[in-house]
Amino acid sequence: DQQVKQNSPSLSVQEGRISILNCDYTNSMFDYFLWYKKYPAEGPTFLISISSIKDKNEDGRFTVFLNKSAKHLSLHIVPSQPGDSAVYFCAASDYSEKLTFGTGTRLTIIP
C-alpha cells in the first residue's frame, strides 16, 4: 500500500520557468512533510519541510504548499536552474521517526 504517491515519474522544464512537483498521501495521521533532492549514488539532501498546521512554507526559490483536505502537497521551484536537475522525493511522517517516501520524480531542467 503506497501511502505517499508521486504520480509523475519525470518532468522537464525550461530553465528560468517554474517547476511544480506534486505529491499525494493517504494516511491522515501524517502531520509533517518534507522534500528531498537526490543525485544518483548519493544520499537525499533535505530541501524544505512543512508542518500540517501550515499551508505554505518558503525558503528562497523553494516553496511547499500543503492542502490537507485534498491530502496533497506540491513543491514549486522558481526560477528553475540547471543544477536543479535531480530526483525529488516527498516524504511524510506521523508522531514517529519513520519517514514514508514517495517513489520520486526525475526533474530535468532544459537550458
Binding site for other proteins (CB under 8 A): 31-32, 34, 36, 41-46, 49, 51, 89, 91, 93-104
Q: DSSP letter string over 59-100?
A: ETTEEEEEETTTTEEEEEESS--GGG-EEEEEEEE-SSS--E
- Residue closer to other proteins, measured from CB, 13 or 91: 91
Task: Give bridge partners of residue 101 from the DSSP assignment.
Answer: 91
Grid cell, residue 59, equals 525558503
> What is the closest distance, in whole angstroms, from the C-beta atom of residue 9 to other proteins in the complex?
12
> What is the closest distance, in whole angstroms, from the C-beta atom of residue 21 to other proteins in the complex?
16
- Residue closer to other proteins, measured from CB, 4 or 13: 4
- Residue closer to other proteins, measured from CB, 32 or 62: 32
> What is the closest distance, in whole angstroms, from the C-beta atom of residue 34 to other proteins in the complex?
6
C-alpha span between 66 and 100 (Å, rounded):
17
> What is the closest distance, in whole angstroms, from the C-beta atom of residue 42 to other proteins in the complex?
6
Sheet strand arrangement including 62-67: 4-5, 19-25, 72-77, 62-67, 56-59
- Residue closer to other proteins, measured from CB, 17 or 56: 56
